[in-house]
Structure 1
Amino acid sequence: MTSKWFKSFLAVSLTFSLFTAWASDGRIASAEGPLDPAPIINPVGTANGKKVLFDNTHGQTAGAADWVIDGAFSDFAQALAISGYYVKELRQSTPITFENLQPYDVFVIPEANNPYKTSEQAALLKYVQEGGSIFFISDHYNADRNKNRWDSSEVFNGYRRGAWENPAKGMSAEEAGSTVMQSVSSSDWLADNFGVRFRYNSIGNVTANVIVPKEQSFGITEGVQGVAMHAGSTLAVTNPAIAKGIVYLPQTTDKWPHAVDDGIYNGGGVAEGPYVAISKVTKGKAAFIGDSSPVEDITPKYLREENGQAKKTYDGFKEVDDAKLLVNVVNWLSHDEAYTNFTQVPGLQLDQATALHSYEVPQQSTEPKPEPWAVPAAGYKWWDQSSFKPGSFGYTGSTNPGPGPGPGPVNPAYTLEYPASVKAGQPFSVCVKVSKAAPNTTLDLQLGIYVAGGQQIGQIQNADGTWPTTYGYQAVSLQTDGLGNGCKTITVRTEPSKTGAASIRLRSGKSNVVTNSITVTP
């Protein structure tokens, strides 16, 4: 398989010393498993008083996915921080409760690969009914990243295609009896409660450019002319009183090459159902998008849990008007409204319910091809983190070869030290530090500074005192000592014509290890 199977492809408040991520109690987050402190990103500049929580409890790092705020969703999370939001990852090994969500204004669920238990669905619904908001980010049918037969569209909808009578259909006794599958039951949960259902279509590379005017989208589509899709799905509006489409595909025949059925159900256009939709459920709200590609960036943090290989993600957040739409969605979600459904909004044009095929009735759905789409690697158990490979989220073993306990797994922790505010075009010092790395090793890193939208504005001074002729990521070599510690001070400057809020990022290979904010003054 090619394309989406393999594509799926922090800003903390600045003081003089900045770490990759902090726990709420002040500890440095090691960011390796559900029991470690969760990363946070503090608002950049003026805080707006709103808090956003990203789920990482349901397989958000499975396969090629890396949907975490300090990994391949970091550009999105950083954009929210620049807009004034406090952003945090939900990281735990127990089911989600209402109490987990209550302190937050918006709960973002990136591509869940493991099903939600009935108690979790109840917690999510209560959260929205009492004024919270959820952003559901899905993908095409059979985007089953951990090969457990569930993809995000099925997880969100509440049932597996062709497995209504048994959510664990086709699973081994060990899989079906795992903690992950306990208290999972089939229901039309999303449609029943939010008025939409993700369709199981699989559409290829299309720019969704049928945009509902901002006057009919609560301002969400202001400044949005198009949103990219790279192997995604659309939604069906099942209850127009509480759900409304705001972004649609053009007419298209471009189905994803690996679609297991027709791929495109109604020829694209409005008839295919919205690519992006919103919902108003009593006091709260929800939003939905049928592809993760517009949200992701090219800085994955973890290795694949199944085989330990590097991930390759897609730089979609910078495409078309993807970033604009996504931030606009969260802005709308984060604000309370007095109306409880769309019929109460004067002048708002309600949708027509999406026409569905008979095979889209949940109880009548079938499984077009046997699942999973590929045989899992030997020894890999999606439900058992002890089978995960080193470098993956949730890995519980040791990276030490041979017998004996050894010194423990290598888990470098990086620090950047630099002035919180710098003058455009004027050189300043950045101290790059690392601890807990491999001893007596040269680390090849890259440092860059960029503004919103991704434009690079930073340069690192050459060893001979000259400066590069272009702006962008540049190499930083760091030597560790016998304890795995190292530091290096470099001289940096920014483009003279660019001022305001910016981000400084340290990379190791294709993975970002630090993303923080910096203010550039005239």
Structure 2
Amino acid sequence: MKKLHKILATVAISAVALNAAPFHTYSYAATSTPSIGENHKGEVLFDNSHGQTAGAADWTIDGGFSDYANSIAQQGYRVSELQDESHITPETLKGKKILVIPEANIPFKTAEQKALVSFAKQGGSILFISDHYNADRNLNRIDSSEAMNGYRRGAYKDMTKDMDAGERNSKAMQDVQSSDWLAQNFGVRFRYNALNDLSTSNMLKGKEGLGITNKVNKVSMHAGSTLAITDPNKAKGIIFTPENLSAKQKWSHAVDEGIYNSGGKAEGPYVAIAKIGKGKAAFIGDSSLVEDSSPKYKREDNGQTKKTYDGFKEEDNAQFLTNLTQWLGKSESADSITGLGVSKDKVTQLKDFEKPESSTEPEKEPWSQPPSNYKWYDRSTFAPGSYGSEKEGNSDAPSKPDNPAPSGDNVNGNGVDFSLPETIKAGETFTIKVNLKGQSKNQTLSNLRVGIYADGGKQLGLFGNSTTAGYSAPQQVKTNASGNAVLTIKAKTTSDYQGTAQIRLKQNDKNLKTQPLHIN
């Protein structure tokens, strides 16, 4: 594990009504597209135009991928989100340094595929984050591995196989052509295996690891997949699952043997990289490694509350992702794997059913029937509170959700911000303002707790008279007639720590707001 420094904070909390607008960490432009950070090193774009919020997924920069997005911003990048529908174009990629594609559940159009290849060849970097086979979150028969590979398992000749007329004729399926696109252009293909919960230390180190595994001892997986190296001149594995996995370690809902080659290098890399033209790419076989426990939206199919997990804080996942951002952000003159000064992999040995043209569909898809009033390709059918719902804005140009003021003392997380001084010096008292805006009017907001922790999740703050690091005792504050209030926090850190930490506000166990702070 990476070394964690210790912060000792003594905090006093008071509450007063506030009429002024709070400071926003996330900014919303005229198109209501969220962004975070300042452009010192370049711009990082997260794709949210291919079903990244379908089902239980919430892979947005101010939702279930917010810890990851914050870590990128802390490295000096401006992070923004690509919205709309199937919206990857040369124009949307122009000027971007890195494109992150989390778990796409809608296939890429041929024009988008061409734009991605051109972006990489001209010097851009792309991170593809997939998941296990059959993680079909919007029940359209296409999971992220299939969307990224470029074809459906068992439907190589026709990606619309078994779709009804509405699906086939939808905007989402126009200009979609089945091909082995990812392997042909990047030298890798996501396998259709499904491995269960595991941690792995099986990774390349030193020069062979390209700095991606520095200070990384283990990373985790929770129902994920691996990749096949199809062209060692273009792609190379960096992290692998443990060797000698048994059949018992497959995901319990796997539709086939789940583990294809007993794990290890023979199973194919869990994390791989590719060099293409002036640019590069990286690939991760599980979104669980990246996600955090702060989903923003309701489920689009039924409106239920989502539950995501703090995978970003597990093992050394955060350190690995920080290293990966550094590697993706570094320009390389080499145009092949060997040009990077590392050895070439061997081609991954595949099962016969993994060949695209002869692949099979082990079980009828989709794995579950969607609600009768939900159509994955039509945002007008999405449940209220979900991303893209018409009740939250124009479905062709998604906007920030309306987020009406909550009833009772439930805090509206989108109306919460921290105001911090420009400079925080170790050992000196400083003031934190927790601004709450747009809440229920004249209501007491209770069970509010503040915590300070290091990257990796270890609690570091001491509050009140407590001698044990953790969150503060529950606090409460009453809003004014405009629905606004503020908690004023006096904090002090020990003089022996300098560096970055995180401050977070919770109500009960719900994360409301997380923001970085730096101690000089």
Q: TM-score, normalised by structure 2?
A: 0.86
Pair 1:266–1:469, CA change in 2 (3 A): closer
Larger mean CA deviation between 500-509 and 84-93 belongs to 500-509
2:14 counterpart residue number: none
State yes or no: 1:237 paired with 2:229: yes
1:22 aligns with one of 23, 27, 31? 27
Pair 1:381–1:20, CA change in 2 (3 A): farther
2:369 aligns with one of 367, 375, 379? 375
Pair 1:443–1:381, CA change in 2 (3 A): farther
Give the SS at the match of 1:120: helix
State yes or no: 1:164 paired with 2:148: no
State yes or no: 1:81 paired with 2:73: yes
1:33 counterpart residue number: none
Query: CA separation in 1, counterparts of 2:389 and 2:469?
Result: 40
Conserved? CA contact 2:68–2:312, under 8 Å: yes
- How far residue 267 of structure 1 moved from its aligned partner, in angstroms, is 0.8
Conserved? CA contact 1:60–1:111, under 8 Å: yes
- How far residue 327 of structure 1 moved from its aligned partner, in angstroms, is 1.4
Query: CA separation in 2, counterparts of 1:123 and 1:272?
Result: 30
Give the SS at the match of 1:134: strand
Query: CA separation in 2, counterparts of 1:517 and 1:409?
Result: 24
Letter of the 1:218 partner, please give it.
L
State yes or no: 1:252 paired with 2:245: yes
State yes or no: 1:39 paired with 2:34: yes
Pair 1:324–1:183, CA change in 2 (3 A): same
2:323 counterpart residue number: 328
Give the SS at the match of 2:45: strand
1:446-488: CA deviation from partner (whole Å, max 9, x where unpaired) = 4323232223334555xxxx567543265343434454x2203
- How far residue 20 of structure 1 moved from its aligned partner, in angstroms, is 4.2
How do 1:264-303 residues align onto structure 2 when only pairs under 5 Å count?
Answer: 264-303=259-298
Query: CA separation in 2, counterparts of 1:520 and 1:316?
Result: 26
1:223-274: CA deviation from partner (whole Å, max 9, x where unpaired) = 2222211110000000000100011112212100100111011111111101
Letter of the 2:422 partner, please give it.
A
2:471 counterpart residue number: 472
- How far residue 282 of structure 1 moved from its aligned partner, in angstroms, is 0.9
- How far residue 427 of structure 1 moved from its aligned partner, in angstroms, is 4.8
- How far residue 431 of structure 1 moved from its aligned partner, in angstroms, is 3.0
1:30-77: CA deviation from partner (whole Å, max 9, x where unpaired) = xxxxxx52222215xxx7523211111111111111111111211111
1:69-111: CA deviation from partner (whole Å, max 9, x where unpaired) = 1112111112222222222222234621012112111101111
Pair 1:132–1:369, CA change in 2 (3 A): same
2:450 counterpart residue number: 447
How do 1:295-444 residues align onto structure 2 when only pairs under 5 Å count?
Answer: 295-346=290-341, 348-397=342-391, 410=404, 412=412, 413-424=415-426, 427-444=429-446
Letter of the 1:342 partner, please give it.
I
- Unmatched runs of 5 consecutive residues or more in structure 1: 1-15, 28-35, 400-407
- How far residue 194 of structure 1 moved from its aligned partner, in angstroms, is 0.2
Conserved? CA contact 2:477–2:487, under 8 Å: no
Query: CA separation in 1, counterparts of 2:472 and 2:140?
Result: 38
1:284-310: CA deviation from partner (whole Å, max 9, x where unpaired) = 100001001111111112221222222
Identity of aligned residues (%): 48
1:493 counterpart residue number: 491
- Across the aligned residues of Structure 1 and Structure 2, the Cα RMSD in angstroms comes to 2.4
Pair 1:179–1:449, CA change in 2 (3 A): same
2:112 aligns with one of 108, 112, 120? 120
State yes or no: 1:177 paired with 2:195: no
Pair 1:460–1:371, CA change in 2 (3 A): same
Conserved? CA contact 2:438–2:484, under 8 Å: no
Conserved? CA contact 1:159–1:167, under 8 Å: yes
Letter of the 1:447 partner, please give it.
V
State yes or no: 1:217 paired with 2:209: yes
Larger mean CA deviation between 408-417 and 306-315 belongs to 408-417
Query: CA separation in 1, counterparts of 2:157 and 2:445?
Result: 53
Give the SS at the match of 1:203: coil
- How far residue 423 of structure 1 moved from its aligned partner, in angstroms, is 4.2
Conserved? CA contact 1:425–1:493, under 8 Å: no
Conserved? CA contact 1:301–1:511, under 8 Å: no
1:3-51: CA deviation from partner (whole Å, max 9, x where unpaired) = xxxxxxxxxxxxx95214113x5x6xxxxxxxx52222215xxx75232
- How far residue 512 of structure 1 moved from its aligned partner, in angstroms, is 3.9
Conserved? CA contact 1:208–1:275, under 8 Å: no
Give the SS at the match of 2:117: helix
Pair 1:223–1:458, CA change in 2 (3 A): closer
Query: CA separation in 1, counterparts of 2:340 and 2:25?
Result: 44
Give the SS at the match of 1:397: helix
Letter of the 2:326 partner, please give it.
N
State yes or no: 1:457 paired with 2:464: no
Query: CA separation in 1, counterparts of 2:155 and 2:311?
Result: 33
Query: CA separation in 2, counterparts of 1:103 and 1:220?
Result: 24
Query: CA separation in 2, counterparts of 1:55 and 1:474?
Result: 38
Pair 1:17–1:500, CA change in 2 (3 A): farther
- How far residue 426 of structure 1 moved from its aligned partner, in angstroms, is 5.1
Q: TM-score, normalised by structure 1?
A: 0.86
Give the SS at the match of 2:196: strand
Give the SS at the match of 1:127: helix
Conserved? CA contact 1:478–1:486, under 8 Å: no
Pair 1:343–1:312, CA change in 2 (3 A): same
- How far residue 509 of structure 1 moved from its aligned partner, in angstroms, is 5.7
Pair 1:457–1:281, CA change in 2 (3 A): same
Letter of the 1:40 partner, please give it.
S
Conserved? CA contact 1:138–1:289, under 8 Å: yes
Give the SS at the match of 2:424: strand
Query: CA separation in 1, counterparts of 2:69 and 2:403?
Result: 28
- How far residue 137 of structure 1 moved from its aligned partner, in angstroms, is 0.6
Letter of the 1:255 partner, please give it.
K
Query: CA separation in 2, counterparts of 1:220 and 1:189?
Result: 26
- Unmatched runs of 5 consecutive residues or more in structure 2: 1-20, 394-401, 406-411
